[in-house]
Amino acid sequence: MNKENEIEIRFEVKDKKIFQEFSELNKVLEFEKASEKKTLIENQIFDDKEFSHAKKGIFFRIRRKDEKIFAAFKKRISIKEGLEENKEIEEEISGKQLKEFEEGSFENKAVKKFKENFFNAEKILLIKTKRTEINFKNRKGKGFEIALDDSKYELLGKAFADAMIEVESRGLNEKEFGKVLDFFKEKFHLPAINENKVERAYRFYMESKKN
pLDDT tens readout for residues 85-124: 999 999 999 999 999 999 999 999 999 999 999 999 999 9
Residue 86 has a pLDDT of 95
Confidence tier at 134 by pLDDT (50, 70, 90): very high
Residue 35 has a pLDDT of 97
pLDDT at 80 exceeding the cut of 60: yes
Name every residue whose Cβ is closer than 8 Å to that of residue 124 and which is 6 or more positions away in sequence: 45, 46, 47, 48, 49, 51, 155, 156
In this structure, of 39-43, 90-94, 207-211, the range with the lowest mean pLDDT score is 207-211
Average pLDDT, the chain: 95
| pTM of the predicted model over 0.75 | yes
CATH architecture type of domain 5-210: Beta Barrel (2.40)
How large is the average pLDDT for residues 20-40? Answer: 97
Asked whether 151 and 127 are in contact (CB, 8 A), the reply is yes
Cβ neighbourhood burial of 36 (10 Å; 0-12, 13-18, 19+) = middle
177 sits in which H/E element: helix 174-188
Confidence tier at 144 by pLDDT (50, 70, 90): very high
